[in-house]
Structure 1
Amino acid sequence: MSFAVRYQLKLHAKTLREGDVLMTNSPRAGGSHLPDITIITPVFSPEDKSKIIFFTASRGHHADIGGILAGSMPPTSVTIFDEGAQIVSFKIVDNGTYKREELVDYMCERPAQYPNSSGCRNFKDVESDLKAQIAANHKGVGLIHAMIEEYGLQTVQEYMIHIKNNAEQSVRRLLKDVVKRLGTNKLSAVDYLDDGTPICLKVVINESDGSAVFDFEGTGPEVRGNLNAPISVVHSAVIYCLRSMLNSDIPLNSGCLVPVTVKIPEDSLLSPSDTAAVCAGNVLTSQRIVDVILKAFDACAASQGCTNNLTFGAGGKDSSGKVKPGWGYYETIAGGSGAGPDWHGTSGVHTHITNTRIGDVEILERRYPVLVKRFEIRDGSGGKGEFNGGDGVVREFEFLHKLQVSILSERRSRQPYGLHGGEPGMSGRNLWIKRLREEDGDLPEQTRNPAEGDLPPNKPRKINIGGKATILMGKGDSLIIETPGGGGWGSPR
Structure 2
Amino acid sequence: MQYSVQWQMHSSGQDLKKGDVLLSNHPAAGGSHLPDLTVITPVFYPGYDRPVFFVANRGHHADIGGKTPGSMPPDSKYLWEEGMYVKSFKLVNDGIFQEEEVTKLLMAPGKLPGCSGSRNLHNNISDLRAQVAANQKGISLVTELINSYGLETVQAYMGHIQENAEVAVQDLLKIIGTKIQAETGEAVLWAEDKLDDGSPIVLKVTINKENGSALFDFSGSGDQVPFNLNTPRHVTYSAVLYCLRCMVGHDIPLNQGCLKPIQIKIPPGSLLDPSDDAAVIGGNVLTCQRVVDVIFKAFSTCAASQGCMNNTTFGDDSFGYYETVAGGAGAGPTWHGRSGIHTHMTNTRITDPEILERRYPVVLKQFSLNRGTGGRGSFFGGDGVIRELKFRRSLILCLLTERRVYSPYGLNGGEPGRKGRNIIYRHNGSEENLGGKFKTPVSAGDIFHLETPGGGGYGNVNDDVGIPSSAKRARTL
- Asked whether the two chains share a fold, i.e. TM above 0.5, the reply is yes
How much does 1:246 deviate? 1.1
Q: Which string of whole-angstrom CA distances, capped at 9 and with x for unpartnered residues, describes residues 314-357 of structure 1?
A: 10xxxxxxxxxx11100000000000011000000001001111
Paired position in structure 2 for 1:425: 417
Identical pairs, percent: 55
Instruction: Note if contact 2:385-2:452 (Cα within 8 Å) is conserved in structure 1.
Output: yes
Paired position in structure 1 for 2:457: 488
How much does 1:488 deviate? 0.3
C-alpha separation in 1, matches of 2:177 and 2:335: 22
How much does 1:14 deviate? 1.1
Determine which of 322, 332, 346 is the counterpart of 1:340.
Answer: 332
C-alpha separation in 1, matches of 2:361 and 2:207: 54
Paired position in structure 1 for 2:211: 209
Q: Which string of whole-angstrom CA distances, capped at 9 and with x for unpartnered residues, describes residues 350-391 of structure 1?
A: 010011111111111111010010000010000000000000
Paired position in structure 1 for 2:28: 28
- Does residue 245 of structure 1 match 2:247? yes
**What residue identity is the alignment partner of 1:56?**
V
How much does 1:312 deviate? 0.4
Within 5 Å, give how 1:339-358 maps onto structure 2. 339-358=331-350
C-alpha separation in 1, matches of 2:282 and 2:71: 11
C-alpha separation in 2, matches of 1:464 and 1:327: 26
The TM-score, its normalising length taken from structure 1, stands at: 0.92
Within 5 Å, give how 1:440-479 maps onto structure 2. 460-479=429-448
The TM-score, its normalising length taken from structure 2, stands at: 0.95
Instruction: Note if contact 1:430-1:480 (Cα within 8 Å) is conserved in structure 2.
Output: yes
Within 5 Å, give how 1:297-376 maps onto structure 2. 297-315=299-317, 326-376=318-368
Within 5 Å, give how 1:56-75 maps onto structure 2. 56-75=55-74
Within 5 Å, give how 1:395-434 maps onto structure 2. 395-434=387-426
Paired position in structure 1 for 2:10: 10
C-alpha separation in 1, matches of 2:337 and 2:209: 31
Paired position in structure 2 for 1:449: none
How much does 1:47 deviate? 2.5
Q: Which moved more, 1:155-164 or 1:232-241?
A: 155-164
Instruction: Note if contact 1:46-1:145 (Cα within 8 Å) is conserved in structure 2.
Output: no
How much does 1:178 deviate? 1.0
Paired position in structure 2 for 1:442: none
Structure 2 unmatched runs, 5+: 464-477
Determine which of 98, 119, 122 is the counterpart of 1:121.
Answer: 119
**What residue identity is the alignment partner of 1:133?**
Q
**What residue identity is the alignment partner of 1:94?**
N
Determine which of 133, 141, 153 is the counterpart of 2:131.
Answer: 133
C-alpha separation in 1, matches of 2:44 and 2:312: 41
Determine which of 157, 160, 170 is the counterpart of 1:159.
Answer: 157
C-alpha separation in 2, matches of 1:46 and 1:281: 42
Other structure's SS at 2:52 match: strand
Paired position in structure 2 for 1:102: 101
Paired position in structure 2 for 1:435: 427
**What residue identity is the alignment partner of 1:139?**
K
How much does 1:278 deviate? 0.3
C-alpha separation in 2, matches of 1:93 and 1:127: 12
CA RMSD between the two structures: 0.8
Determine which of 359, 380, 390 is the counterpart of 1:388.
Answer: 380
Determine which of 346, 355, 377 is the counterpart of 2:369.
Answer: 377
Within 5 Å, give how 1:170-249 maps onto structure 2. 170-182=168-180, 183=183, 184-249=186-251
Q: Which string of whole-angstrom CA distances, capped at 9 and with x for unpartnered residues, describes residues 384-414 of structure 1?
A: 0000000000000000011101111000011
How much does 1:46 deviate? 2.6
Instruction: Note if contact 2:408-2:453 (Cα within 8 Å) is conserved in structure 1.
Output: yes
Other structure's SS at 1:13 match: helix
**What residue identity is the alignment partner of 1:232?**
H
**What residue identity is the alignment partner of 1:116?**
G
How much does 1:92 deviate? 0.5
Instruction: Note if contact 2:168-2:249 (Cα within 8 Å) is conserved in structure 1.
Output: no
Other structure's SS at 1:177 match: helix
C-alpha separation in 2, matches of 1:181 and 1:479: 49
C-alpha separation in 1, matches of 2:374 and 2:35: 31
C-alpha separation in 2, matches of 1:413 and 1:202: 24
Q: Who wins on radius of gyration, i.e. which is larger? A: 1
